[in-house]
Amino acid sequence: MNTSSAPAKRRILLTVVAAAAVGLAGCHTLSNLPMFKSGTNKSVASAGERIPILEAEDQLNVSDALKGQSFYVPPPAPQVDWPLPGGTVEQSVENVDAAPDFHLAWRRPLGVSAMNRQHFVTAPPIEEAGLVYAMDGQAGVSAHNAKTGEQVWRVNLQNHERRDRDGFGGGLAYDDGKVFVSSGYRFVAALDSHTGRTLWKTATDEPIHAAPTVSDGRVFVVTLDDQLLSFDSATGTPGWNYQAIIEPARMLAASSSAISGDTLVTAFASGEVIAKRVTNGNDLWNQALSRSNRNSALSEIRDIAGRPVIYKGNVYAASHSGVFASFDLRTGAPVWTLPVASFTTPWAAGDVVYLVSQTGQLICVSRESGGVYWIVDLNASAGKKEKKSKGIVYWFGPTLADNRLILTSSRGDIEARDPKTGDFISVIHTGAPMTQPPIAASGMLYVVNERAELVAIR
């Protein structure tokens, strides 16, 4: 992207002002994390009418009826592979049988890291058939033995055009012997999963900062200017596309689509959640996760950076501007809404759905009613355990594995908590910031940190 343009500078300024408006301080500021960098290179006014579904004065509280009550969480079940960032095309799994000992197994370097702040490692790893695939901060894709971390192959797909010298981001997906790659260097590609050989590579007009979603011969990605693109997975030939409202301010952590049957659900930086037919892109429904009477500049960023999750006939999504909602998958009708600002992906399992808020609250919500079972302040509890912690700590996740909620942090911790209470169980100190939760497959947890290291938890 061309960050030297005037529109880009205005967007950077907006993000910095937003951070200052809420009084954030310390070594981990919004402008220092990749998901809070300003992004799009088009300055287009937000079109269309948004109907807010929550009032700004609403507050999140534990439900009196649910306080102290128990709920059902499915028992751990094996998850052999993890071909998409969310594990399945619905971007949801329940309770994965993985990493019961919760010990660091190994870590392996991938390539270009994010520690110099010129490149950002935003792609979560994926796993299929005993190989873990990961992406560094400069379009370097590698395959690793899932048990040992040994590198099997590595390719660098970086474009060397002048306009793309600051390209980064994107992600990976697996299907039918191919690893699909989307990139901030403005392309979508397919690689042979065994060798890394490029099978096809299709250019896009704008950078892509989220991982692709692949299903039934189609690849779906969302570009930086909020355009949903589809491609033939065998050839890379473009298919139907959809242009959402282009938002002048957004985060660089971006969302991947979720699919159930012939319904494709996609979230955009405009705060829109849109359902379309997978086959032809026909409209099904459209909702907007935005709030009225916003009191801070930060809430003007409406982006939905976490993936929408489809689980048992409902869609769950949360926006940066302060709306966490459940929708009926078939009709798009709201089931419930809560005033929570978040840049992470919800995790639904059994009777509940979990979410980490922007301020570091781990929230457990009834899937049926939207009532809150409990709220745990991760930063407050972290401060008690880690006296030397300074500044704001950002949290990502959770991933439910072996009856534990696994969260990662910008401080470099991988933390395990009780899914019934939110109580602290244990922590692994890795020493490197993380901006994504781990995946869980073949009995292990895998996460990529900002040093561009693939970390495995046994």
373 neighbors 69 (Cβ within 8 angstroms): yes
Across the chain, what does the average pLDDT equal? Answer: 85
252-261, 319-328, 363-372: the lowest-pLDDT one: 252-261
29 neighbors 392 (Cβ within 8 angstroms): yes
Whole-number pLDDT of residue 11: 33
Alpha-carbon span 89 to 410, nearest angstrom: 27
Q: Using DSSP, how many helices (H) and how many strands (E) does the chain show?
A: 2, 32
Please report where in the chains the tokens 């060798």 appear, as a residue.
195
Whole-number pLDDT of residue 129: 96
Which residues have CB under 8 Å from 268's CB, separation 6+? 222, 226, 244, 245, 247, 255, 274, 303, 304
Whole-number pLDDT of residue 329: 98
What letter represents residue 194's amino acid? Answer: H
**Angle ∠(350,351,352) on CA atoms, nearest 5:** 95
Alpha-carbon span 100 to 458, nearest angstrom: 7
**Confidence band, pLDDT 50/70/90 cuts, at residue 119:** low
Alpha-carbon span 241 to 72, nearest angstrom: 40
- Other beta carbons less than 10 A from residue 176's beta carbon: 12
Element (H, E) at 326: strand 324-328
Q: What is the pLDDT of residues 404-438, one digit of tens each?
A: 999 999 999 999 999 999 999 999 999 999 999 99
Q: Tell which residue, 184, 302, 249, 343, has the closest CA to residue 40.
A: 249
Host domain of residue 58: 6-457
**Confidence band, pLDDT 50/70/90 cuts, at residue 145:** very high
Strands laid side by side in the 198-203 sheet: 170-175, 178-183, 187-192, 198-203
Whole-number pLDDT of residue 382: 52
* Torsional sign, CA 243, 249, 252, 256: negative
346 neighbors 405 (Cβ within 8 angstroms): no
Answer yes or no: is 100 within a domain.
Answer: yes
Length of the chain: 458
Q: With the CA atoms of 397, 335, 423 and 124 taken in that order, what torsion angle do they form, in degrees rounded to the nearest 10?
A: -10
Whole-number pLDDT of residue 58: 63
Of the two residues 328 and 48, the one the predictor is more confident about is 328
| Range list of β-strands (E), 176-226 | 178-183, 187-192, 198-203, 213-215, 218-222
Alpha-carbon span 13 to 23, nearest angstrom: 15
Answer yes or no: is 1 within a domain.
Answer: no
Whole-number pLDDT of residue 250: 67
Q: What is the pLDDT of residues 264-323, one digit of tens each?
A: 999 999 899 999 999 999 999 999 997 754 455 555 678 899 999 999 999 999 999 899
Whole-number pLDDT of residue 111: 79
Of the two residues 46 and 132, the one the predictor is more confident about is 132
| Number of folded domains that form the chain | 1
Alpha-carbon span 341 to 357, nearest angstrom: 6
- pLDDT for 327 beyond 50: yes
Which residues have CB under 8 Å from 113's CB, separation 6+? 119, 121, 136, 137, 450, 451, 452, 453
- pLDDT for 106 beyond 80: yes
Element (H, E) at 75: none
Whole-number pLDDT of residue 203: 96
The pTM score is 0.87
Whole-number pLDDT of residue 6: 33
Answer yes or no: is 439 within a domain.
Answer: yes
Whole-number pLDDT of residue 56: 42
Q: What is the pLDDT of residues 344-398, one digit of tens each?
A: 999 999 999 999 999 999 999 999 999 999 999 999 855 444 444 556 899 999 9
Whole-number pLDDT of residue 168: 73
- Other beta carbons less than 10 A from residue 413's beta carbon: 22
Give me the mean pLDDT over the 213-231 stretch: 96
Whichever domain contains 452, its CATH number is: 2.130.10.10
Alpha-carbon span 19 to 383, nearest angstrom: 22
- pLDDT for 202 beyond 80: yes
Which residues have CB under 8 Å from 399's CB, separation 6+? 96, 347, 405, 406, 407, 437, 438, 439, 440, 445
